[in-house]
Amino acid sequence: MNVLVIGATGYIGAAAAAALARAGHEVAALRRPDGGAPPDGVRAVAGDLADPASLAGAAEGFDRVVHAGPPLGAEIDLAGADALAATGVPVLWTTGAAVLGGGRADEDSPPDPHPLVSWRAEVERRVLAAGGQVIRPGMVYGNGGGLVPGLLARKAAERGTGVYIGEPGVRWPVVHVDDLAALYVAVLERAGPGTVWHGVGETVRLDAIAAALGGGRAASWPLEEARAELGALADLFTRDQEVSSERTRSLLGWRPVHTSLLDRLGERSGAAPV
Over the stretch 196-229, which tens digit does the pLDDT of each residue have? 999 999 999 999 999 999 999 999 999 999 999 9
Give the pLDDT band (50/70/90) at residue 271.
very low
For residue 34, what pLDDT is reported? 78
The secondary element (H helix, E strand) that includes residue 29 is strand 26-31
- Tell me which residue of 31, 29, 11 sits closest to 21, measured CA to CA: 29
**3-class DSSP assignment, residue 192:** coil
Q: HSE of 212 in the Cβ direction (CA atoms, 13 Å)?
A: 20
Is pLDDT above 70 for 273? no
For residue 147, what pLDDT is reported? 83
Across 209-231, b (16+ Cβ under 10 Å) vs e yields bbbbbbeeebbebebeebeeebe
Number of CB atoms found within 10 A of residue 256's CB: 19
For residue 175, what pLDDT is reported? 97
For residue 65, what pLDDT is reported? 98
Domains of the chain: 2-138+176-199 (3.40.50.720), 140-173+202-243+258-267 (3.90.25)
Q: Using N-to-C axis directions, what is the helix angle for 177-190 and 11-22, rounded to 10°?
A: 50
pLDDT digits (tens, 9 = 90+) for 95-132: 999 999 999 999 999 999 988 899 999 999 999 999 99
Is pLDDT above 70 for 268? no
The secondary element (H helix, E strand) that includes residue 207 is helix 206-213
In 125-188, at which residue ranges do the beta strands (DSSP E only) sit?
133-137, 139-142, 145-146, 162-165, 171-176
- Tell me which residue of 7, 24, 6 sits closest to 64, measured CA to CA: 6
For residue 38, what pLDDT is reported? 76
- Tell me which residue of 168, 172, 183, 189 sits closest to 249, measured CA to CA: 183
For residue 269, what pLDDT is reported? 45
DSSP 62-131: -SEEEE-PPP--HHHHHHHHHHHHHHT--EEEE--GGGS-SEEE-TTSPP---GGGTTHHHHHHHHHHTT
Q: Using the 8-state DSSP alphabet, how is residue 183 labeled?
A: H
Number of CB atoms found within 10 A of residue 254's CB: 21
